[in-house]
Structure 1
Amino acid sequence: MPSVDLTSTGHAGLTGAGAARSGRLRPVRLWLYAVAALIVLMVVVGGATRLTESGLSITEWKPVTGMLPPLGEAAWQAEFEKYQQIPQYTQLNRGMSLSEFKYIFWWEWAHRLLGRLIGFVFLLPFLVFLWRGLIDRALGWKLGGLFLLGGMQGAIGWWMVASGLVNRTSVSQYRLAIHLTFACLILAATIAVATSLRAPPDGEPAAPRRARLVAGGLIGVVLLQIFLGGLVAGLDAGLTYTTWPLMDGHLVPPLENLLVMDPAWRNAFENVLTVQFDHRMTAYALWMLTLLHALDLWGVPGAGKRALHLFALVSVQALLGILTLINHVPIDIALAHQFCATLVLIAVTAHAVRLRQAWRVAGCGLAGRMAGD
């Protein structure tokens, strides 16, 4: 029976077609990477907004007219008077000067302006690419979904801010964690779509099924860790138990302290000790999983190097987290910690997509060889 050369026909044919498609869609891919970079910047500026306690300085949601900052002293005074009506001012910042208010206002205004900018940077090229016929129906649905997620994120942002305007001096830690995690979910989805537009990795063998499953699972673990980080930020939990590796003198705090609240589930979201402990434990689990994943793919062309880079990034992120804690959350290290979290998410998402691409190439090549036998 005739045989078909897997390398020359199956693999090369598929990667050749993928390379042609990748070249044609290169402008789309670069555009998505630019959007992803803006989302990363948005996350970092959002972290600065939180650390400077600026998030409640703008007490209204004006999607269009809010693009312009106050113009003139009368407009600034009017904004300041609105802020003076909320509990954060009356209970924490009473006596704040107008110049001090302007400082926190500019952080929140920049954060909201970035959100609007991302919307424009996404929508306008998207329409141009559609008009030029570069985006087919399947890709169009994916990109349209990303745009809708971005709109939802804006609404979630205001939902978060609204929680701190009445009866609270800060936003709800639940809503803050959801807002942060949703932004990172959009980032991961954007990277996944952009990476899928690259040509399949040439010469990379299919990784074992367990490695592909672990890579996909790691995306979930990273998002969970980001959610827990949002809870830590929302509760200012990083300002307590600022020793490492011990917490209050223990590797594992006493159960009665971890579960002091009733019902028990509240401890995972409202108990400062438990929230920080969960964040630490998930960090350890993530570090160990990425180490085992790197060892599992050791020596595999392409995949092994990506897994090792991912482990290195997670190690740097863990170190930044420790430094943030023991130094009582200085803004520079804390923002580096948040920035590195987005890099970890980008790396693990791209890695998982590339593993799937290599598996599909190998599978199609095998199917071609079997059909020729």
Structure 2
Amino acid sequence: MTISALSQPPAAPAAAAPAADRMAAVRAWLAVVALLVVAMVILGGATRLTGSGLSITEWKPVTGAIPPLSDAAWAEEYAKYRATPQYKLLNAGMALSEFKFIFLWEWTHRLLGRLIGLVYILPLVVFAVRGTVRGRLLWILAGIGMLGGLQGAIGWIMVHSGLQPGMTAVAPVKLMLHLLAACLVLAAVLAVWVGLRPRAEPAAPTRLRVTAWLLVGLSFIQIGLGALVAGLHAGLIYNTWPLMDGQLVPGPQVLWPLTPWWLNLFGTVATVQFDHRVGAYALLALALSHAVDAARHAGGRPAARRAAMLAVIVGLQAVLGILTLLLQVPLWAGLLHQLGAVAVLAVAVIHARRIGLAAAPLRASAALAR
């Protein structure tokens, strides 16, 4: 359900202004939540790139917030990790100091998740009790909170998949679901944030509204493909561009070795990397065509400026992706590339929401504030 669909009968501008003032604190809160979710995504990327995700072998939502505080506690956690397949197959002989390094990465990642939960739930309760948010807006915000809780559960399911016999990393598909769930939370928060204070601007043609939302959908697909690349370490091979295995399009023996064919979409390293490349080309082409279309039919208007900015960000993200591939995914490049993906998604969501609300901004704002 879109927030614009929550509109009540038209309200006068004078009535809408006080409602917008009451929403200022809510918008500030949502902005903080969005920034924390972005930080969570980047920290999750660092956890993955440092191989830290399986260092904590238990899920303790409350007591797990306290790290080991004594030598005995560290020894106990280290003993649990030494029983995992990852340690036995990849990290046998790892020193305790090295274990502490990866443990603290994962512990910080989980701690930030707990912090986001508190930062989201406690103010929401206060806003609800005071009547600042109510009705359908309250239900939407509660639903986003439930999605955030589900995201934590998906995270543990993902980690648990990497603790199974013979596994040395989390299942790539579950890593993809974990990242996409976080991005969905971010997109939902930003959508509400925009809807609480839509800006009056000329209505855009239907075609621009459709392509704006297509950019959001394609951004999600590309992020999912990137998660598969990360999960299969597909960025560590075929480190050339624009050719891959010496060709623009590798042969079927490279891309489709598994049967049935659809298994290659999730389990063949070459296929996953190739799909991510094609997704980048498609996203860039759509962003550029959308920007040109907006310049022709909404020249000088906010929609045209946002479309141009989105195209620039997508282009920079494509360049960063190529650089990350050529350098074989150093930590700094991998994190910047993940941050770029989040930036593309965030700008695409804001752009699409503003275009969608351009027709009746005051009515939509008043409806959410009621």
- Shift of the 141–282 alpha-carbon distance from structure 1 to 2, 3 Å rule, reads same
Match of 1:46 in 2: 44
CA distance in 1 between partners of 2:15 and 2:329 (Å): 50
Tell whether the 8 Å contact from 2:287 to 2:310 is kept in structure 1 after alignment: yes
Match of 2:229 in 1: 232
Using the size of structure 1 for normalisation, the TM-score is 0.91
Q: Which amino acid aligns with 1:196?
A: G
Structure 2 residue aligned with 1:242, among 216, 239, 242?
239
Tell whether the 8 Å contact from 1:15 to 1:361 is kept in structure 2 after alignment: no
**CA offsets, 1:268-288, max 9 Å, x none?**
101111000000001000001
Tell whether the 8 Å contact from 1:207 to 1:355 is kept in structure 2 after alignment: yes
* Count of aligned residue pairs for this structure pair: 351
Match of 1:195 in 2: 194
Superposed CA RMSD in Å reads 1.6
Tell whether the 8 Å contact from 1:324 to 1:334 is kept in structure 2 after alignment: yes
Structure 2 residue aligned with 1:221, among 210, 218, 221?
218
Match of 2:270 in 1: 273
* Structure 1 residue 13, shift from structure 2 partner: 7.4
**CA offsets, 1:132-178, max 9 Å, x none?**
21102111001000110011001000000000111201110010011
Identity of aligned residues (%): 54
CA distance in 1 between partners of 2:92 and 2:127 (Å): 51
Q: How does 1:242-321 map to 2 (within 5 A)?
A: 242-298=239-295, 299-321=299-321
Match of 2:183 in 1: 184
Unaligned runs of 5+ in 1: 1-11, 365-373
Match of 1:369 in 2: none
Unaligned runs of 5+ in 2: 1-9, 365-370
Match of 1:324 in 2: 324
Q: How does 1:22-101 map to 2 (within 5 A)?
A: 22-101=20-99
* Structure 1 residue 209, shift from structure 2 partner: 0.5
**CA offsets, 1:280-336, max 9 Å, x none?**
001000001011111111115110001011111111111111111000101001101
Tell whether the 8 Å contact from 1:238 to 1:328 is kept in structure 2 after alignment: yes
Using the size of structure 2 for normalisation, the TM-score is 0.92
Larger Rg: 1
Tell whether the 8 Å contact from 1:153 to 1:182 is kept in structure 2 after alignment: yes
Structure 2 SS opposite 1:328 = coil
* Structure 1 residue 56, shift from structure 2 partner: 0.2
Match of 2:109 in 1: 111
- Shift of the 270–14 alpha-carbon distance from structure 1 to 2, 3 Å rule, reads farther
Tell whether the 8 Å contact from 2:90 to 2:168 is kept in structure 1 after alignment: yes
CA distance in 1 between partners of 2:359 and 2:12 (Å): 12
Structure 2 SS opposite 1:93 = coil
Tell whether the 8 Å contact from 1:205 to 1:362 is kept in structure 2 after alignment: no
Match of 1:9 in 2: none
* Structure 1 residue 360, shift from structure 2 partner: 3.0
CA distance in 2 between partners of 1:66 and 1:270 (Å): 33
